[in-house]
Amino acid sequence: MTSATSEWLTPSTRTELIENLVSGVDRYNPSNVGILEDYLYHQIRSEEYDCLANLAILKLYQFNSDLYNPDVVVNILLKALTAEPFPDFDLCTSLLDDRPVNVNPDEPDPLPVLLPILTNLYNLLHQCRFPAFWTFYHSDELESLRENYIVECVGFEEAVREVAARAVKATFTRIGLDRLGTYVDLSGLELESWIEKQGWSLDTSTRTISIPSNPDNEIESVVIRENVKLGQLQKVIAHAAQIR
């Protein structure tokens, strides 16, 4: 988790230019918003992720309402969705309370419609309700989101599967093949290939997957011992007798 936190704070893919913008006072300079937005679209195309840089965009939008771009916000939230177990999505939405009122009827703001949908997707992931996530994801209600935004976000579905993989590794030592398939929206050879990529072993005769042991899924007995001195015990007994 320490290495994951370090990568979250300072991604290895972050350039020196972005590091200077994110770490210094220039992150509040509105003239730099274009650089940060370009960096966001680079993340979308390359499957990279930099939460702090994306938060800097949202903070600039807060301070400078004329810079607000709803399409950028939607893309930031899509990237944050797959950052579980980090609270990136909540961090991003906390900066959206003071959104500017849309004054251009020719270009309606999609965020009021999409934000509840994105929040629902996030909640399903956060609660590890993966089958329900995929059902909602493939529904007609999400057609606009899929066709206008997710299609541009390279590796989005695979990133969601990695969220499920982290939950499975932390919870199970063995899991049924069919059950896992509902978690990652895969079946057949695609599912078997994905399992092999995770480094898990599949028993085809029992259709179960074995998950290697790790600190999260190991079952350990816990023995709780309390040392009560005789003097303390006598006081407790005397106090109980007085109450009676």
CATH number of residue 44's parent domain:
1.25.40.250
Q: What is the DSSP string of the chain?
A: -HHHHHHHHS-TT--HHHHHHHHSGGGG-GGGHHHHHHHHHHHHHHT---HHHHHHHHHHHHH-GGG--HHHHHHHHHHHHTTTTS-HHHHHHTT-TTPPPP--TTS--SHHHHHHHHHHHHHHHHTT-HHHHHHHHTSGGGHHHHHHTGGGSTTHHHHHHHHHHHHHHHH-SEEEHHHHHHHHT--HHHHHHHHHHHT-EEETTTTEEEPPP-TTT------------HHHHHHHHHHHHHH-
Number of residues in the chain: 244
Whether 164 and 196 map to the same domain: the answer is no
d(CA 89, CA 162): 16
Stronger pLDDT, 136 or 27, i.e. the higher one: 136
In which band, very low, low, confident or very high, does the pLDDT at 28 lie, cut at 50, 70 and 90? confident
Please determine, for residue 162, whether its predicted confidence score (pLDDT) is greater than 80: yes
Q: Are 51 and 80 in contact (CB under 8 A)?
A: yes
- CA dihedral sign, ordered 103, 109, 112, 115: negative
Please determine, for residue 227, whether its predicted confidence score (pLDDT) is greater than 80: no
What residues contact residue 85 under an 8 Å CB cut-off, 6+ apart? 166
Q: What is the pLDDT of residue 84?
A: 85
In which band, very low, low, confident or very high, does the pLDDT at 215 lie, cut at 50, 70 and 90? confident
Please determine, for residue 101, whether its predicted confidence score (pLDDT) is greater than 60: no
Q: What is the pLDDT of residue 7?
A: 86
Please determine, for residue 189, whether its predicted confidence score (pLDDT) is greater than 70: yes
Q: What is the pLDDT of residue 26?
A: 84
Q: Percent of the chain beyond pLDDT 90?
A: 71
In which band, very low, low, confident or very high, does the pLDDT at 199 lie, cut at 50, 70 and 90? very high
Residues of the domain holding 60: 1-100+108-170
Whether 177 and 96 map to the same domain: the answer is no
Whether 153 and 196 map to the same domain: the answer is no
Domain membership of residue 164 (yes or no) is: yes
Q: Are 52 and 22 in contact (CB under 8 A)?
A: yes
| CA–centroid distance for 202 within its chain | 27
Which region holds residue 155: left if phi is over 0, alpha if psi is between -120 and 50, else beta?
A: left
Domain membership of residue 190 (yes or no) is: yes
Whether 115 and 207 map to the same domain: the answer is no
Whether 76 and 197 map to the same domain: the answer is no
Domain membership of residue 244 (yes or no) is: no
pTM (two decimals): 0.84
Give the number of domains in the chain. Answer: 2
- CA dihedral sign, ordered 38, 44, 49, 53: positive
For all residues of the chain together, what is the average pLDDT? 89
Instruction: Read off the amino acid at residue 7.
Output: E
- Mean pLDDT in residue range 214-222: 73
Examine the fold and report which residue of 170, 189, 210 is the final residue of a domain before the chain moves on. Answer: 170
- Mean pLDDT in residue range 214-232: 69
Q: What is the pLDDT of residue 221?
A: 63
Whether 39 and 94 map to the same domain: the answer is yes
Please determine, for residue 98, whether its predicted confidence score (pLDDT) is greater than 90: no
Please determine, for residue 102, whether its predicted confidence score (pLDDT) is greater than 60: no
Q: What is the pLDDT of residue 210?
A: 94
In which band, very low, low, confident or very high, does the pLDDT at 37 lie, cut at 50, 70 and 90? very high
Whether 177 and 191 map to the same domain: the answer is yes
